[in-house]
Amino acid sequence: MKLKKWIGLMAGAVMAAGLVLTAHADGPVEITFWHAMGGVNGETLESIVKDFNESQDEVHVNTEYQGTYDDTITKLKASIQSSTGFPDVCQMYDVGTKFMYDSGAAIPVEDMFETTGYDKSTVMDVISSYYSVEGKQYAMPFNVSTPMLYYNKDVFEAAGLDPETPPKTYEEILEFAKQIVDSGAAPVGYSQAIYGWFFEQQLAGLDLCYGNNDNGRTEPVTAVEFDSNGGGEKIFQMWLDMYKSGYFENYGTTTADTQTAFFAGQVGIIIESTAILKNAINSSPFEVGTGYFPRFEGNEDGGVIIGGGSLWMMNTGDEAKENAAWKFIEYTTQPEVQAKWNMGTGYFAINEAAYDLDEMKAYVEEFPGFSVAINQLKDSPVNTYTAGVLSGVQTESRLIFNDLMAQVYDGKITPAEGVEQLASQVNSAIENYNASIE
Amino acid sequence: MQLKAKNPVFKAIEPYLYLVPALVLFALFVFWPFIKTIQLSFALTDPLGRVAKYIGAKNYIDILTNGAFVNSLIVTLKYAAGRVVFSIALGFILAIISTEKIKGKGFFRTMYALPMAISASAAAVIFMFVFHGSVGILNKLLGTHIGWLTDQRYALMAVTIVSVWIAIGMNFIYLTAAIQSVPVELYESVSLDGANFFQKHRYVTIPGVSPTLFFLLIINVINSIQAYAEVKMMTSGGPASSTNIVVYEIYQQAFINSRFGVACAESVILFIILIILTALQFRLEKKVTY
């Protein structure tokens, strides 16, 4: 029996070509988990892995922090190329989905559902739809976030605004920002980082697609749509108006710089990811209020796209490790784990059952900001707009956006020119990408 | 015991055998990647960096015509010029001051050399707070309201200042050592001739340390053109590509945009530019007094 197990393992190792054999016949199966969570979020993740390792003795997960999302995907590419040091489970950001799908280096998680009797509906539809290609779920969402509005309740009070009523539209934000600055409650009324993700979110909020072929969900994207459907220009124009109003401050593309200003009480209102909620509460000496991601007047019911990251099961060719990897991934979807994750970070619980737990209920009562985030997600319609664009060049597209938005703010180009250039540059990137994977 | 006369054939190849270990290492880690780079620069690559198909000189034509790469070269030149001139000049001034007979010389020397001990990334993070538009101390001290890292007019300057600050330390140490090795008799001689402070340094110190200045010039130019960490940390090449120095542009093409072919073509051009620059600088060597 023991011999047989060894032979099986050896065969697996040979197939995995170059992988280090770390599993023992009688010890737990050792698997490697690459992640990109630093700071408060990283600590919570480590603690979840520790819980998992202690909860059973068949699988032992070794975490390896890889730096930022961009660092992680870069290292993963290198390890796929050289087929060494492959992780068994890899955390990947939302826009890495198409790359992972095209690379063929991962096993779709849905392949494991049937054999293990996993109930697909454990994860909310609006979330799993982002990680589905042609109807099949490829990755297990793990850290799910959306953008939302953060505001400083003390500043609201000082400005004579109701600290329990956040602004809902950009028009209202402008009004509130004016009152904040004019009353001297804070030097800056509103701020948002130059961040392509917000642009994608705003398009979804307008019930418009970023790319053609239903945001690439029915067939690969071949061109963008935000130029022809008018959404791009509308958004660029609104943001430029905000910028020029005098109540807005631009802290650039580094989102942390906008956060710093907000935490320091310099800015009344910002938009940011729900993922920084825990950090915001910890870092701010004032009471943090939260509200829905702002909309345009007339589009108040638009939804948000889920962002954040997911867990991918890598195709290592070693069945024992793959099963172990799935076991860990399955564990992360349990309500208790998701509740812990949500409370420790600000990322959503992907499993709705987490919100029925007593500890979670008590927590939300203490920090109502958490319920705003989840309600916003629940209120989001599941459609092609909120599924988000599935594109292999989205990282690049966001960088191009950053560049052009800064030029629009500076008055070097008009919003119309900005959108036109964005569309043509992203289209050529898409064309290049599609040609390279044919 | 008498040595046997060596086989003439062996004698001819013997010296090359001694070079083999070094050549193997060079071939493996320098020449092979270099050839690979040239090969990839003519290819369209897939997201994993594998060759999808060969497309001739298209990558080169694209990068030389679409503006982004040319812009990054211009930004790099501005950055390098600022960094080289100011870091050597300031290092030199500090070195002269700290060789004068003043109290607490050791303390000042340590202070001036200290930035060298800080990594570029760590320094960049600290300066991000200094330059922050709303909470940064710089705006507080100056009473200004400038987005040092978010305004296209100031971002490159801000990044250059940080780089200069980091680079001064090394230049300072080299120049201090060089000044101390200038023969004392020369200074005594010019003093007798009635030279003032500036004349003393103009006619004795500068020629005396010229080999070091030449060395620092080459090293600083290469370091500036290869700079990366400050930009990656502080601005990510922005706003609107105003700090997108060439190595960061290459990094973005290769690792963020997964266009390895384009990145390789950019690297080849950067290589050619560096060769030309270095050749030009060696012409300067004639002016150096050894």
pLDDT exceeds cutoff 50 at A18: no
Ramachandran assignment for A216, one of left (phi > 0), alpha (psi -120 to 50 degrees), beta (any other): left
Question: Under DSSP, is residue A230 helix (H, G, I), strand (E, B) or coil?
Answer: coil
Mind telling me how many Å the CA of B83 is from chain A's nearest CA?
A: 24
Residue of A nearest to B45 (CA): A436
Decide: A186 and A265 in contact? Cβ < 8 Å. Answer: yes
User: Taking CB atoms and an 8 Å cutoff, what residues of chain A touch B236?
Assistant: 253-254, 402
Say whether A437 and B46 touch across the interface (CB within 8 A): yes
Say whether B238 and A252 touch across the interface (CB within 8 A): yes
Mind telling me how many Å the CA of A224 is from chain B's nearest CA?
A: 17
Mind telling me how many Å the CA of B44 is from chain A's nearest CA?
A: 6
User: Taking CB atoms and an 8 Å cutoff, what residues of chain B touch A436?
Assistant: 44-47, 52
Decide: A23 and A9 in contact? Cβ < 8 Å. Answer: yes
Most confident of A351-355, B84-88, B279-283: B84-88
User: Taking CB atoms and an 8 Å cutoff, what residues of chain A touch B49?
Assistant: 77, 81
Supply the pLDDT for residue A63. Answer: 95
Say whether A80 and B48 touch across the interface (CB within 8 A): yes
Supply the pLDDT for residue A233. Answer: 95
Q: Residue A261 carries which side chain, given as an amino acid letter?
A: A
Q: How confident is the model at residue A14 (pLDDT cuts 50, 70, 90)?
A: very low
Closest CA to B246 of B86, B66, B70, B61: B70
Mind telling me how many Å the CA of B239 is from chain A's nearest CA?
A: 6
Q: What number is the average pLDDT over the span A4-21?
A: 48
| DSSP result, A27-94 | SPEEEEEEE---HHHHHHHHHHHHHHHHH-SSEEEEEEE-SSHHHHHHHHHHHHHHT-S--SEEEEEG
Which tens digit of pLDDT belongs to each residue from A226-265? 999 999 999 999 999 999 999 999 998 888 889 999 999 9
User: Taking CB atoms and an 8 Å cutoff, what residues of chain B touch A393?
Assistant: 257
Decide: B75 and B241 in contact? Cβ < 8 Å. Answer: yes
Which class does domain B66-287 fall in? mainly alpha
Say whether B239 and A80 touch across the interface (CB within 8 A): no
Domains of chain A by start residue, with CATH: 2-145+307-366 (3.40.190.10), 147-304+374-436 (3.40.190.10)
C-alpha angle with apex A88: A83 to A92, nearest 5 degrees? 95
| Percent of chain A residues past pLDDT 90, beyond the cut | 58
| DSSP result, A122-146 | GB-HHHHGGGEETTEE-SEEEEEE-
Say whether A250 and B252 touch across the interface (CB within 8 A): no
User: Taking CB atoms and an 8 Å cutoff, what residues of chain A touch B132?
Assistant: 251, 257, 260-261
Decide: B271 and B30 in contact? Cβ < 8 Å. Answer: no
Which tens digit of pLDDT belongs to each residue from A304-330? 998 889 999 999 888 899 999 999 999
CA–CA dist A377, A399 (Å, integer): 26
User: Taking CB atoms and an 8 Å cutoff, what residues of chain A touch B134?
Assistant: 187-188, 249, 251, 261, 264, 266-267
Q: Which of B137, B144, B258 to mutate to test the interface with A (most CBs of A within 10 A)?
A: B258
User: Taking CB atoms and an 8 Å cutoff, what residues of chain B touch A257?
Assistant: 128, 132-133, 149-150
Q: How confident is the model at residue B48 (pLDDT cuts 50, 70, 90)?
A: confident
Contacts 24+ apart (CB under 8 A), A64-68: A64/A32, A64/A33, A64/A34, A64/A35, A65/A35, A65/A36, A65/A37, A65/A38, A66/A34, A66/A35, A66/A36, A67/A36, A67/A38, A68/A36
User: Taking CB atoms and an 8 Å cutoff, what residues of chain A touch B255?
Assistant: 70, 74, 77
User: Taking CB atoms and an 8 Å cutoff, what residues of chain B touch A70?
Assistant: 255-256
Query: Which of A77, A250, A261 lies at the smallest CB-CB distance from B49?
Result: A77
Query: Which of B49, B152, B241 lies at the smallest CB-CB distance from A81?
Result: B49
How many interchain CB pairs under 8 A, A with B? Answer: 104
Tokens describing residue B8: 């003439």
Say whether A260 and B129 touch across the interface (CB within 8 A): yes
Say whether A399 and B46 touch across the interface (CB within 8 A): no
Tokens 């399955």 sit at which residue? Answer: A330
Helices (H) and strands (E) in chain A, counts: 20, 12
CA–CA dist A294, A169 (Å, integer): 5
Mind telling me how many Å the CA of B157 is from chain A's nearest CA?
A: 16
User: Taking CB atoms and an 8 Å cutoff, what residues of chain A touch B47?
Assistant: 77, 99, 102-103, 392, 433, 436-437
Tokens 């060759």 sit at which residue? Answer: B51
Query: Which of A74, A410, A435 lies at the smallest CB-CB distance from B44?
Result: A435
Task: Tell me the pTM.
Answer: 0.84
Say whether B135 and A254 touch across the interface (CB within 8 A): no
Q: What number is the average pLDDT over the span B105-116?
A: 86
Residue extent(s) of CATH 1.10.3720.10 domains in chain B: 66-287
Which tens digit of pLDDT belongs to each residue from B197-243? 888 888 888 889 999 999 999 899 989 998 999 999 898 887 889 99
Lowest mean pLDDT of A426-430, B113-117, B284-288, name the range. B284-288
Q: What number is the average pLDDT over the span B37-62?
A: 90
